[in-house]
Amino acid sequence: MTGPTANLLITGARLIDPATGTDAIGDLAISDGLVVADAPAGAERIDGRGLVVTPGFCDLHAHLRQPGRDGAETIESGCRAAARGGFTTICAMPNTDPAIDSAEAVSRAVAAGAGGACRVRIIGAASVRRAGREMADLAAMAAAGAVAVSDDGCAVSGAMARETFERVAAAGLLLIEHAEDPSLVAGGVMRAGPTAVRLGLPGWPPAAELTTVERDLALAGTTRARLHLTHLSCAASIEAVRGARARGVAVTCDVTPHHLSMADDWVAGSRRFAWDEERAPDPALAFDGRCRVNPPLASRADALALLAAVADGTIDSIATDHAPHPVERKLAPFASAAPGLIGLETALSLGLAAVEAGRLALPALVAAMSTRPAAIIGEARSLAVGATADIVAFDPAARWRVDATTLESASSNTPLLGMELPGVVRLTVGDGRITYRS
Ligand code: DOR
């Protein structure tokens, strides 16, 4: 990571550290990139009143598009977007072009990811070219530094699932699974339900996610492979996770900020959050390709159930699924628009909007964005004296307008453009270095 080494004293901030159970007003001193008890002479003083200081955020699911689609994002621009969003680690998915599906490709990606404004961890593909026909060499990719494997964009194919779980278990790896059965999606482009019927768009049933979740939980149970279910979008999937955990299955899971906050009425032109009062959608905003994402935006009831599962700790992590796409791939008719939206710079704000609405406690949001995802990939995070400074300081009350011209990401595909959101990151320190400040 690049940036000046931090020598700072942040005074009077709200320090929230899930690692030590801290939630108190206090000072944080950093000397030569380490958290210390007393600030060094000459340390820069930052008035932290009104700021919240927490461990740096860790995103288990981001798309950096390099190699192959660096018009949409580069490692460098993605890292800048991450640092602006308070992230100090992002895990890059392997659905690049070519896919990151070998030890050599992992090594190249690890080297390319060093030296940006954020720590980049690499996820290797589970199958060669992510095609679901031939196993990638998982053990070799792990040895080359992959923190997990995934065929994200697709689930591990049925034909390969058993062997994949066995090899993941043998290599002591983590499988990050995009749960989707394409035979049940069958051309669906938005969540099946009344809104899809009204708009005349083909529906994507929750069963397409749930059947893969159930399959994977069964395989994780028998193989003892570590399974992480990413971007869950259905209340029924959360129930399945709860049931499997009760049976002793080691499974973790995440949800995206957009699945928590935006329901399928956004496709009809609504711009209210899932917890807001019912408001008539704006027909002029209907069929906006920027609302197309896989899995699709959920029903309002499912979005609220996902949020409740973050609040009660069932969902381990909020992961962005930051999916940059160029404008022309989003300005298409809804059913032809590329699925995915950017999320690194808006994740904290969407979480804080849920906190403001009384749906989520701030410490639970912080844990789901920092210590809990970091622990899943074996990274420590703490504000305790002696720890490497890896922190974010943000103003939860400040507001900003999402504006394509000021985003650090090379893409601006989000339906949040033009909206005013709470939460401005003032300072990000990753691995002892200042990676962002505003
Ligand atoms: O909407 C999505 N976009 N879902 C995925 O799983 C992949 C992602 C992408 O790579 O654009």
Mean pLDDT of 26-52: 96
**Cα–Cα distance, 18 to 430 (Å, whole number):** 18
Distance (Å, rounded) from C-alpha 240 to C-alpha 214? 7
| Mean pLDDT to the nearest integer, 294-309 | 98
CA 293 / ligand 1 centre spacing (Å)? 7
Query: DSSP label at 150?
Result: -
Catalytic residue among 321, 390, 395, 431: 321
Q: Whose CA is nearest to atom 3 of ligand 1?
A: 340
**pLDDT, position 150:** 98
* Contact residues of ligand 1, CB 6 A cut-off: 63, 95, 152-153, 178, 293-294, 321, 323, 339-340
Give the mean model confidence (pLDDT) for residues 154-183.
Answer: 97
What pLDDT is attached to residue 320?
98
pLDDT digits over 258-274, tens only?
999 999 999 999 999 99
Q: Are 237 and 177 in contact (CB under 8 A)?
A: no
pLDDT value for 252: 98
Question: Whole-angstrom Cα distance, residue 130 to residue 157?
Answer: 9
Q: Mark 5-17 as b/e (b = at least 16 C-beta within 10 Å).
A: ebbbbbbebbbbb
Q: How confident is the model at residue 3 (pLDDT cuts 50, 70, 90)?
A: very high
Q: Name the pLDDT band for 364 (thresholds 50, 70, 90).
A: very high
Structural domains of the chain ordered from first start: 56-380 (3.20.20.140)
| Dist. CA 369–CA 348, nearest whole Å | 8
Q: Specify the ligand 1 atom closest to the Cα of 324.
A: 11
Nearest-angstrom CA–CA distance, 99 and 102:
9
Average pLDDT in the 212-234 region?
98
d(CA 290, CA 412): 9
Kindly tell me the sign of the dihedral angle through the C-alpha atoms of 361, 300, 232, 114: negative
- CA nearest to 423, candidates 394, 381, 389: 394
Judge if the upstream peptide bond of residue 326 is cis by omega within 30 degrees of 0: no
Instruction: Determine the distance separating the centroid of ligand 1 and the alpha carbon of 339, expressed in angstroms.
Output: 6
pLDDT score, position 144: 98
Q: Token pair 């949409």 is at which residue?
A: 72
Q: Is 395 assigned a catalytic role?
A: no
Contacting residues for 353 by C-beta, under 8 A, at least 6 apart: 261, 273, 421, 422
Helix (H) or strand (E) run with residue 8 in it: strand 8-17
pLDDT in tens, 49-62: 999 999 999 999 99
Give residue-wise pLDDT tens across range 275-291. Answer: 999 999 999 999 999 99
Strand, helix or coil for residue 393 = strand
The DSSP call for residue 75 is: H
CB 125 within 8 A of CB 164: no
Q: How far apart are CA 258 and CA 263, in angstroms?
A: 8
* CB 365, CB 351: distance < 8 Å: yes
